[in-house]
Amino acid sequence: MAMNKNRVIDCLIGLSVAAVVSIFIFVVLPSGAVISGPRRLPNREHFNQIAKSNLAYLNSTTTGVRNLPVKLGDSVHAAAFYLAKAEGLNDASVYFAIIDPSSPPITPHTVLEGDPVNAQRLDPDFANSTLSIVMAANFPADVRAATTPVAWTRGLQADGKWSPDSPWGTRGGYIAFIDGDVQWYDQVYANPTQGPTLTKYGTNETTTDIREALPPGAIILGAEPRPFVPENSTANPPGP
């Protein structure tokens, strides 16, 4: 009886050690899935917040779409201003990737300076920072929400690959669509049999160039800080 009891104890100890070793290996061994995955996930939620806030702004009208009052030459900072004022997206951290080498040492806390309701300008720390994303704006009333990109990780090239100086380097980046869907792309492929691709706007053709996935007249807002003055004194024009 005592021998059987000792065998049971030995088995339990063996199982415990194996479990600890398995956990240790899972955490310590270098694996792209284990290490890079969790570092990417928070930014997927950030892109989702941006896409949903933008969709809410677009839908805040009874006719057509209500486009952000931005213009060619503006940066994402301008779009962030209006999304903070109109949709309450005042958390500046959503515009920065966790491991982006171009991000400031301390991530700015807010998009707007002071009380968001009465704020009339960007927080200086946010306004002077290079962001991790670029955005598209100026969409038609019948925009294809499911296949039209609205925000993506900085550094996406026309060949569908990310440049070495993008937040995750050449490893990939996120693309968010107007309907709120967010996907990680190692690269944008030319053929869906190779991997995820994009749809050329107004067609069923695929493309690696995200510019071709945008409707005519759409503009791209860059990640680099640019001078920005709100279009009017209220800084948050009401929808019709």
CA distance 189 to 213: 13
Question: What is the per-residue DSSP string for 129-165?
Answer: SPPSEEEEE---TT--TTT-EEEEETTB-TTSPBPTT
- Model confidence at 180, pLDDT cuts 50, 70, 90, reads very high
Are residues 18 and 60 part of one domain? no
| pLDDT attached to residue 232 | 60
Helix axes 32-58, 76-87, angle to 10 degrees: 70
Number of domains in the chain: 2
Please give the single-letter amino acid code of residue 179.
D
- CA distance readout (Å), 224 to 131, 152, 166, 188: 7, 14, 12, 23
* 12, 113: one domain: no
Shared-domain flag, residues 159 and 51 = yes
Residues 24 and 114 grouped into a single domain: no
Same domain, 98 and 7: no
pLDDT of 15 above 60? no
Is residue 92 included in any domain, yes or no?
A: yes
Same domain assignment for residues 106 and 24: no
More confident residue, 119 or 197: 197
Contact partners, residue 139, CB within 8 Å, separation at least 6: 58, 65, 67, 148, 178, 215, 218
Question: 89 and 197, same structural domain?
Answer: yes
Q: Which domain holds residue 22?
A: 1-30
Contacts of residue 141, Cβ cutoff 8 Å, sequence gap at least 6: 63, 64, 65
15 and 105 in a single domain? The answer is no
User: Do 107 and 21 share a structural domain?
Assistant: no
Query: What value does the mean pLDDT of the chain take?
Result: 83
- Asked whether the predicted pLDDT for residue 23 surpasses 60, the reply is no
Residue 54: in which H helix or E strand, if any? Answer: helix 32-58
pLDDT at 11 over 70: no
Same-domain status, 126 and 14: no
Claim to verify: residue 10 and residue 62 sit in the same structural domain: no
Which residues touch 35 (CB under 8 Å, ≥6 apart)? none
pTM, rounded to two decimals: 0.80
